Amino acid sequence: MVVVSNRVALPGEAAQRSGGLVTGLVDALHQAGGLWFGWSGRLGETAPEPNVFETEGVTYATVDLTRADHDGYYSGFSNAALWPLFHYRLDLMNFTRRDLAAYRRVNALLADALAPLLNPSDLVWVHDYHLIPMAEELRRAGATQRIGFFLHTPFPSLGVLATLPHCDDLLKSLCAYDLVGFQTTEDLTAFHDAISRRAGGTISTDGHVHAFDRVLRAGAFPIGIDTEAIAEMASGAVKSRTARRLQESLRGRQLIIGVDRLDYSKGLEHRFKAFARFLDGYPAYRNHVRLLQIATATRSEVPEYRELRQRLGALAGDVAGRFAELDWAPIQYLNRSFSQRSLAGFFRLSRVALVTPLRDGMNLVAKEYVAAQNPDDPGVLILSRFAGAAYELDAAVIANPYDPEAVAEALQTALKMPLEERSERWRAMMAVLRRNSITAWRESFLGALDN
């Protein structure tokens, strides 16, 4: 197996604790051996040869990028054009032909560095929106291996996709793969619609896609988590010093938790306003609940993210100013990261999780919260209908994040929910998590690619 991603999770790096991609692939590479290829994370002069080394049976190959290439490929086209497009934020999409050229150039550069490292029987698995042209560039470099692609973000409807200049080239690049995987059937349907209506292709009854003189497969492969590992971790983490400090600070109050990257797709501003609406509409809960919102800062060099951080700080201060009492702060807003173990302990202590993104490919926090619960006294998951996880976790309390009253009502429903109903919902969701685990996701995708 050859894994290709924008960043490589090198041994010992903190990146190994983050994200579904890393969680899903590190174990497989260690078990079966393989190669992980991508950008090194360093900026400098692009070397003609990748830096290759092996440890614990896994080969790592990384390539440096120049600052100009990184700015155009990563900060530019990937995150200023594709990311807002795929999350339906057309007002934030910033397209330039220079960034698109850098995106294509870096994908070609990476393909040229990877191609000599491939063996004839390798399965190549490319990940996420940064590398959509990778198969097309590998084919140009002479690669004949089976190449699969998995999109971790949502795939937009045709009306949204068509706003991107040169979107037809993006569709053609996707059709250079042998297998294209999406998180949900909605994403898959949007892709099929774009192929048939925009690219003039066809979808056969057996699911094959015929377009751009290519035949490929496309399917929905919802990513999972290591359910049992999270459950075991939470059981021990709830007794840790960090979790005990949090529990003591509550003084018997019920905890509502949100854990997100600091990103406009997560709906944090809507969440804070809905929480204020909850406190306003259900005053009996004042001084009896606390919202702990952990929002890890990312892409701090991007102006939109700096401005979001400032707005959230102001909103949190406004909620506190309106409702706080001498011995109670209604909201605790933290811009820092915690280890996965600490978060598992926090999840287990929480009566409610607010997972209300405006648009999300999957959202593994929702799944981790469910897995971390105490089977004898589980909490309640409030989940946005626009998260990919809502397709699987329909036993959660589903809410529309654009409707603050609906989220406030969901909070009241969750906080007063009796144990019997909480347990029934939790058992239904755990059955899904165990069936659609991270291992099942990996094996189903690679099995389809190998077949």
Residues with catalytic roles: 152, 360
45 SS3 class: coil
> From CA 366, how far away is CA 360, in angstroms rounded?
11
108 SS3 class: helix
Do residues 176 and 214 lie in contact, with contact meaning Cβ atoms separated by under 8 Å? yes
210 SS3 class: strand
Within 59-179, where are the H helices?
A: 67-70, 83-86, 97-114, 134-140, 158-161, 167-174
> From CA 413, how far away is CA 273, in angstroms rounded?
18
> From CA 71, how far away is CA 336, in angstroms rounded?
25
Do residues 40 and 5 lie in contact, with contact meaning Cβ atoms separated by under 8 Å? no
Strand ranges for 132-268 from DSSP E: 146-150, 179-182, 202-203, 208-211, 214-220, 254-261
| β-bridge mates for residue 261, sequence order | 296
Backbone angles phi, psi at 356, to 5 degrees: -130, 55
> From CA 351, how far away is CA 422, in angstroms rounded?
10
Contacts of 296 (CB under 8 A, 6+ apart): 260, 261, 262, 335, 336, 337
Strand ranges for 269-411 from DSSP E: 289-296, 331-334, 352-355, 380-384, 397-399
